[in-house]
Structure 1
Amino acid sequence: MLRRCIACFSRAGASCDRSPKVDSNPDAKEIEELDEEEPQQLDPESKKSSAPRGPKVGGGSSQSAVLVELFTSQGCSSCPPADLLISQLGQAKSSDVALEVPIVVLGFHVEYWDFMGWKDPFANSTWTLRQRNYGQALQQDSIYTPEVVVQGRSHCIASSLEPILALIHQAPRFAAPDITISFKLETEPERVLDTTMEAIIKFKVDKFTLDIMVALYENGLVTNCQKGENKGRILTNDFVVRSIAKAATLHDWPARKTVREHFKLPLWDTFNRTKCGAVVFLQNPSTMEVYGAQMVPLPEDLP
């Protein structure tokens, strides 16, 4: 049986703790569940089917990394520890991290806590929609922060390392595609990365849809939070998704047939190549299942 997913929605005089209530833990705090009229509540009638559709799990050494996504907010007091945890996980800096498989980490900042006094500068309603799509695909009752989604197939609260590592080690892995990407900076009429991609998908896309997604993330972001639950704290964030594009959508695509696409990745005013990286991941838009991810270096000649 699926456990009941949780969310917290602070009101005047109420504390906002986003850790689950566990009877055996005397320090656990009660969670206030979202009211039905709140926008974060998921519609049970709109939950997507969990019927598996996609390629077979790959074998051998040439397998893609596992995609680990964090949904977070600077407006949530429970998120800074999770942000640090995921940053350490992504950079393998924690002595507690014992990964047997490669991972790729992305952080999506949601905007539904902005009303609490601090507007997250990296929040985007598109990322909230992405989290809602996961909530429906994973048959959650509601969405919450900080939430980790692993390979688009499982989720947990990002409050401790052990459950995240368990989901990573349990996640299926698939044959890694061959990806070649070139980037060229354009400044007129707007700043974008003019991008050309060639990809060879090692499995057949049959009776399902496959999106090839490309995301740009930024590391080393430091924010002096002056309002809200985190008032007075210096917040640090890594692997923050700043831009994303759908490079290609495949239907009935033979294995090992080359995909060639040209597209543009929007940039932000403070883009600095030395703090950024790119990630390519494969995803079924119907089930939200991810079939692998890999890092792509940005060229050194970018400013």
Structure 2
Amino acid sequence: MSRGLFSCLGRGRSHDRPAATADTASEENRRGGVVLVELFSSQGCATSPEAEVLLSRLGRGDFELDVPVIVLAYHVDYWDYNGWKDPFGSSSSTVRQKAYVEALRLDTLFTPQFVVQGGAQCVGTDQEAMLSAIASAPRFPAPTFQATFQRPSPDSLQVTLSGALRNKIDGQGAKVMVALYESGLVTDCTRGDNKGKVLANDYVVRGFEKLCSVKDISAKKTVSGTTTFPLWEGFSGDKCGVVVFVQNAAHQILGVQSIALPENL
């Protein structure tokens, strides 16, 4: 399926790597740390369910990898006109994917798409390309944030983070981003290209905020900030988690950390 500037892709190969990786960590540091794998998906895309299965398997450790990973799924909204409105789709996810399209010099938006460590991408149904991109991705020490959580109101979650980025940030600067995700989602799809299917989705980004911007700071300097997420009906902390990552102006990921929510939040 292909309409206008958007494509919903199947098994075709597309695997791009950056010409150069970020120079903010030593080679020793590159061999450590965690790799962030982001999936851009839509319930309105016929091939996205296959990619969602790959992401879920990756997140629960089904693949024998030498590299630790953290996964997130962003549901875009540009397929919502195609007979089925994705209940998890958002314009902010589409904007994030567009930024990667520009940074990776791609011709168009498409789903499903994996982006690995902000610097490589492949079709979301291509398991081989996805695993190859993970294996070859640059790696950086994870931040050491400590988190506190509060519920200022029944429909909001406040997250306060404080810790070191463990990577020097140069004059080009970087952003510290926070994603709130939810797993164990099940949807009966009654229209569109996935009509009649029961769709399972994990690690779905339900909120995405900037904690702070940083520039010219050492790896050991303490960084702090607070962000608040609006919550949805049926929110359960047992199904959710928080991912914090550092991303530079070239959209490369310079460190990522996963934080569990406390019980009985």
Per the TM superposition, whether the score is higher than 0.5 is: yes
Per the TM alignment, residue 50 of structure 1 is displaced from its structure 2 partner at its CA by 7.1
Contact in 2 for aligned 1:58/1:174 (Cα 8 Å): no
- Which whole-Å CA distance do the structure 2 matches of 1:255 and 1:21 have between them? 40
- Which whole-Å CA distance do the structure 1 matches of 2:250 and 2:214 have between them? 15
The alignment status of 1:166 with 2:129, answered yes or no, reads: no
Per the TM alignment, residue 280 of structure 1 is displaced from its structure 2 partner at its CA by 0.8
**CA distance change for structure 1 residues 221 and 20 in 2, over 3 Å: closer, same or farther?**
closer
Choose which of 8, 12, 18 in structure 1 pairs with 2:2.
8
Residue identity over aligned pairs, in percent, reads 41
Which residue of 1 is the match for residue 256 of structure 2? 293
Aligned-residue CA RMSD in angstroms?
2.2
**CA distance change for structure 1 residues 150 and 21 in 2, over 3 Å: closer, same or farther?**
closer
- Which whole-Å CA distance do the structure 1 matches of 2:27 and 2:54 have between them? 29
Per-residue CA deviations over 1:268-290 (Å, capped at 9, x if unaligned) read 22210111111111111x21111
- Which whole-Å CA distance do the structure 2 matches of 1:233 and 1:57 have between them? 47
Contact in 2 for aligned 1:71/1:145 (Cα 8 Å): yes
- 2:251 aligned partner, one-letter code: M
Per-residue CA deviations over 1:161-210 (Å, capped at 9, x if unaligned) read 1110100010000122211111111216xx22122111212222112211
**CA distance change for structure 1 residues 177 and 63 in 2, over 3 Å: closer, same or farther?**
farther
- Which whole-Å CA distance do the structure 2 matches of 1:176 and 1:233 have between them? 38
The alignment status of 1:178 with 2:144, answered yes or no, reads: yes
Q: TM-score, normalised by structure 1?
A: 0.80
Which residue of 2 is the match for residue 195 of structure 1? 159
**Matched residue of 1:229: which SS?**
helix
Choose which of 51, 55, 63 in structure 1 pairs with 2:24.
55
- Which whole-Å CA distance do the structure 2 matches of 1:54 and 1:216 have between them? 29
**Which structure 1 segments of 5+ residues have no match?**
1-6, 11-15, 23-48
Structure with greater proportional strand content: 2
Which residue of 2 is the match for residue 86 of structure 1? 55
Per-residue CA deviations over 1:95-138 (Å, capped at 9, x if unaligned) read xx221110000000001111110000000011001000000000
Which residue of 2 is the match for residue 72 of structure 1? 41
Which residue of 2 is the match for residue 3 of structure 1? none
Contact in 1 for aligned 2:178/2:208 (Cα 8 Å): yes
Per the TM alignment, residue 263 of structure 1 is displaced from its structure 2 partner at its CA by 2.4
Contact in 2 for aligned 1:148/1:157 (Cα 8 Å): yes
Q: TM-score, normalised by structure 2?
A: 0.91
- Higher mean alpha-carbon deviation, 133-142 vs 265-274, is at 265-274
Contact in 2 for aligned 1:211/1:249 (Cα 8 Å): yes
Per-residue CA deviations over 1:225-262 (Å, capped at 9, x if unaligned) read 00001101100000000011111110111220111222
The alignment status of 1:262 with 2:231, answered yes or no, reads: no
Larger radius of gyration: 1
Runs of at least 4 residues of structure 1 off by over 3 A? 49-54, 60-63
- Which whole-Å CA distance do the structure 2 matches of 1:64 and 1:85 have between them? 22
